[in-house]
Structure 1
Amino acid sequence: MSRLILDDETGIDDSGIVRGDTVAGWREPSGRIDWAVRDWQPEPEIVAQARLDEWEAVLARVGRHAQLGVRHGDGRPAWHGLSKSPDDMNRGIVGATLVAPGRLADVTAATRQEDFTGIQVQGARRVQQLVVPRIVEHPQGAELDPAEARFVVGAPAAQAPAAPLDLPEELTAALLRRLRRQPVDVARIAVGLRVAETWELADGFQVPVVYDVAPGRTQGYVADPDGTPHSTLQACRNHHLAGVLQWCTHCLQPTCVSCSEAVRLCRLCQGLACGDCVVTEDGRCRACAALTKVGLFARGRFGVSAGGSAWHGESPNVQVTVRQQRNWWTLERWDRNGRVTLQLDPGISRELR
């Protein structure tokens, strides 16, 4: 068996550090070995360690990038290359930066913080922003080149101690076989962004919002409860941020789906009314709740002939008129959206006074 000669009596082979009949075999490290990880970025996995008196040796690797490190006493270690893999060094620095120390990472898609476009809130200004990576595990798609992935995610450059490939081939092969007995931990990820912002509205109220940027995309979105994405938001009267607002035609105030008093359709006129402006138990708006039968001499003003009837109700911004000509019933509504005429079922007469 070939050896790395350390001194006249001591060497390293596949079994460990050897001196005559004494063998200090390779074993799993019992703790951190500072000198063995000091000049690496990321820190390597120390797969095996051997120690005999003043001599100490380690087998260190980042994926398929493997080196034998040897130190005498408190001196500087000497490193010998077993295999070189710049790709795995880049995978290692990405994994250590984004996943966990000692893990390598293959990246299928990524978004740089410098490249994304955030949301906008109409009539407000952003006063704070925090952007951090968001990891998606087990994504679909082909892996990026490891060097490109390191650049995109903003990980620092990988480095290892200088280590010539100067060991005997037989010893190199034996030590690599020992390393390969333990599998390398590789994660498959995609890297998007999670963005936390604070927006100050026109009235001075500050609203926090958190949203994600999908891996490989540059535009940030906030999703409505139904899943619809929006890159531009508006504030409702309760300071919720939403992509779509519904305006009450009575009080002219906006609400969103998160509001307890969200806009809904009036049961009778089908106009948009917020929860505060729906005022009857059966769901009628302020104008419909105020419907009152028009007197005989005023019917003409509401477009009803002498043989017909009319009911009229108003709120500050809505007018509703119900007309009956023989067995023909109609409802006319005027609001900020214009005029709408609906045909009614004759049974409506039971609900009018």
Structure 2
Amino acid sequence: MTAHYKSDRIGPVNSDLFLSYHGSPNLPMRIFRVTSALLLIMSYILSGCEPTSSISDVPTQAHLHHIHFVDQNNGWVGGSGGTLFQTTNGGQSWLPLTNNDDSTNLPEKINSFFFTSREHGWLVSLRGEIYYTNNGGRVWRQQAGGLANGLTDIFLTKESLGWAVGGGGLILHTRNGGSSWEKQGTPDTHHLWATHFVNRQKGWVVGEKGTIWMTKNGGQKWQSQKSGVDLPLLDVSFSDEKNGWVAGVDGTVLRTTDGGQFWRLQNTPEQRTWRSVVAVSKSEVWIAGEDGMLLQSSQAGDNWQVKKEPKSANHLMNLCIQKRWIWACGANGTIHRLPR
């Protein structure tokens, strides 16, 4: 899969634009249980060995857009073709939650999801839908739909406050766990690709044309921040109110130490389209992108380690952290686990 970018692409988020960064839709999916490389987790625990990285090319051709863990055992991964899998044992096995069963009610094109516990989760789709589950993903119920611009990312706090972003500068907000969603907005109509909040008041969204918006009051008002670039920004992550990172196309990596008043372009050893970034702490950051490439810095970007696995050329699309592990997912059913 090759990433393509058209700088003049403005309008509703559709499959062509979204998949230029996230892969092709509707590829075949087969029910699977991962019992190979990820079984090593338990052997490391029992033997006392140091954890090592592993790649699981699971038997599915679905492109996995998002991965999320709420604790060391419970996680989900999903993406194209309505693909969604759940693990309850730290990735030793993954069980399918498919849209072949009418009772599941999964949309075909899952872009992102967020769980606040083992039971409660929300997901957004390319078709502008928001779904909610209260039983770990076995059944999903639609909370919002018919949003022509499409939705690309969602984030919730433990207080059931949430934000979803999408095409045309769309920002949706809920105060009640999604029982109702209201539109917030920014003065422009650039597509928004990602959002991150550090608490119920302070958050950021990023998108096309170097767009960065920040709120100090839960989204009632959004302030523009200067990124210094004119390229699509695909992900944002903050470790606290001051220290944050943004990743985007053409090797774009930005860092702030003052909450976004100033963003500085970072030098990295690889120039890729970076699709996901996780700010673990003030000094530790992970970035994932094309060709199975992972970057890690424990010195706030002063030095970088390239973590690419030689057996993986699949594009990586999303990262999450769970204690001592970094999880990544990507094209062609790739699930990648690395020690911190």
TM bin (shorter chain): under 0.3
TM-score (norm 2): 0.17
Q: Which has the larger Rg?
A: 1
RCO higher in structure (CA 8 A, sep ≥6): 2
